[in-house]
Amino acid sequence: MQRLIAILGLTLLSTVLPGEVATASPALGFDLDRATIPQLQRLMDRGSLSSVRLTQTYLDRIKTVDVKVNAVLKVDDTALAQAKASDQRRRSGHSRGPLDGIPVLLKDNIDTRGLTTTAGSRALLGSPPSADATLVARLRQAGAVVLGKANLSEWANFRSTHSTSGWSGVGGQTNNPYVLDRNPCGSSSGSGAAVAASLAQVAIGTETDGSIVCPSAANGIVGHKPSLGLVSRTGVVPISLEQDTAGPMARNVEDVAITLSVLQGRDRSDKATLAYPSTQPTDYASAIRPRALRGARIGVWRNAGVDKDVDRIVERNVSLLRAQGATVVDVDLPYQAEIAEVEFPALITEIARDLPIYLQHRPRAPQTIQALVDFNRRDPVELSKFGQELFEQAATAPGPDDPTYRRQRQTTTTLARRSIDETLAAHHLDAIIAPTNSPAWPTDYTAGDAYILGTSTPAAASGYPSTTVPAGYVGHLPIGLSFIGPQWSDAKILSLAAAFEKAYPIRHAPRYLPTT
């Protein structure tokens, strides 16, 4: 067994560092934190591992480790039965592909048959959705084990101007597993923290602006925000159908690429998915080129001067990219101030338009923004940490036919696309890199989130792809590097990110420190 694991490149059981929670499992014989999906599949194909054993190991970790992190809202009681069915398919020669038997967590704003889907709000605690979101159906068709639901920032962090990321009325506060009193960032906070803590092999997050890439970077993992339209949003609680997308989060780029291959697909119920070109790859992992950085032209959007420690990490990353054969030039993305003025008010109108449409298939929930506002005022938990200023604005927001709103949306999308497209063209670039985040801040319900540096808006508002990869640490706190590209360049961006990850495998498992 040990010889087989060594051949497959898995890390054998090792000494646990002070403060670290072991991810090396005696039951499995290797380190979960470093195992990739292809390595797990080879073990299962050869009979050295079963999906049941793998799933049970993750369930055991949720019981023991999640008391520190509080990332998992609900475990699916059928997870082991799903795993058993996967093992039976494999024995009969009918495995469904690389995700068959792999445990996946879902952010709790993604409809899941038989599991409550709440967006973190107690207003949605009633009956579970009657059907899976399209992306969940695709995961099930691929044989993935739906392990359960991950906590999130309530209503995807779009309820209050002074919210605290990682808190929901249903799940309470998710903690950053690297330093537990630090914030996990972004609305996909539970997905990011769970993957970092090896509570699932893969998780699915969602993003409107930053909510995949920020929690991925802050929790030291890989996250991919796809091109808008690559992944169906049907059955996902919305903020804005102009910017929302779901995407994969994992501990390595290869697992993210494999999962994206399953999530991708056209859906007649989501017209955005009908727009992507037929030339898009169906297997993103196979599209990864090991030497993708050689000969590539990369623009670096430094955001220098915001955080000196991040500046040092970016400069080190630039030197690394050049050593791998890339040409790196400094760039400054234009129009950011203009975008910042109009994106937010546009989103207010869009949640007022899109959320009530979703609520129609949750008939036991409040059906309007105003009804949600009223529910929260009556509830003993919902307003206990911060308010609902954004919901109150949305309740009286101008409609989608309002001329001011239409100008705001057109300006947001157009300038975000121009900021990327014009920069790429002017410097003949393959991609743009930027620091994803500054170090995670202490969770503080009085002050709320303390964002210092974020670079998610150009890709988010344009609908273009972005992949964040672990790039360094400030003390014990992870920093990510984002690879941003033009529309439908997901395969190229993942390939560049994978080459960077291979050249600089800096990520390590969290140590669950109580404070810095």
Could you tell me the pTM of the whole model? 0.95
User: Can you tell me the distance from the alpha carbon of 336 to that of 501, in angstroms, rounded to the nearest whole number?
Assistant: 28
Q: What is the DSSP string of 247-262?
A: EEEESSHHHHHHHHHH
Instruction: Note down pLDDT in tens along the chain; length 516 residues.
Output: 333 333 334 543 433 444 556 676 666 788 999 999 999 999 999 999 999 999 999 999 999 999 999 999 999 999 999 999 999 999 999 999 999 999 999 999 999 999 999 999 999 998 899 999 999 999 999 999 999 999 999 999 999 999 999 999 999 999 999 999 999 999 999 999 999 999 999 999 999 999 999 999 999 999 999 999 999 999 999 999 999 999 999 999 999 999 999 999 999 999 999 999 988 889 999 999 999 999 999 999 999 999 999 999 999 999 999 999 999 999 999 999 999 999 999 999 999 999 999 999 999 999 999 999 999 999 999 999 999 999 999 999 999 999 999 999 999 999 999 999 999 999 999 999 999 999 999 999 999 999 999 999 999 999 999 999 999 999 999 999 999 999 999 999 999 999 999 999 999 999 999 999
Q: What angle, 0 to 180 degrees and rounded to 10, lies between the N-to-C axes of helices 336-359 and 403-427?
A: 130
pLDDT at 28: 77
Integer CA distances (angstroms), 278 to 274, 282, 316, 488, in order: 10, 10, 38, 11
Q: In a 10 Å sphere around its CB, with 0-12 CB exposed, 13-18 middle and 19+ buried, how is residue 297 labelled?
A: middle
Q: Which of 86, 95, 107, 227 is catalytic?
A: 107
Q: Which of 121, 211, 232, 489 is catalytic?
A: 211
Please name the residue ranges forming H helices in 126-188.
134-141, 154-157
pLDDT at 256: 98
Q: Is 160 a catalytic residue?
A: no
pLDDT at 3: 34
For residue 388 the two structure tokens come to: 């609902």
User: Can you tell me the distance from the alpha carbon of 479 to that of 493, in angstroms, rounded to the nearest whole number?
Assistant: 18
pLDDT at 23: 72
Q: Is 107 a catalytic residue?
A: yes
Q: Which of 160, 187, 482, 489 is catalytic?
A: 187
pLDDT at 8: 39
pLDDT at 30: 87
Q: In a 10 Å sphere around its CB, with 0-12 CB exposed, 13-18 middle and 19+ buried, how is residue 11 labelled?
A: middle
pLDDT at 24: 65
Taking the CA atoms of residue 154, residue 65, residue 482 and residue 310 in that order, the dihedral angle to the nearest 10 degrees is: 100
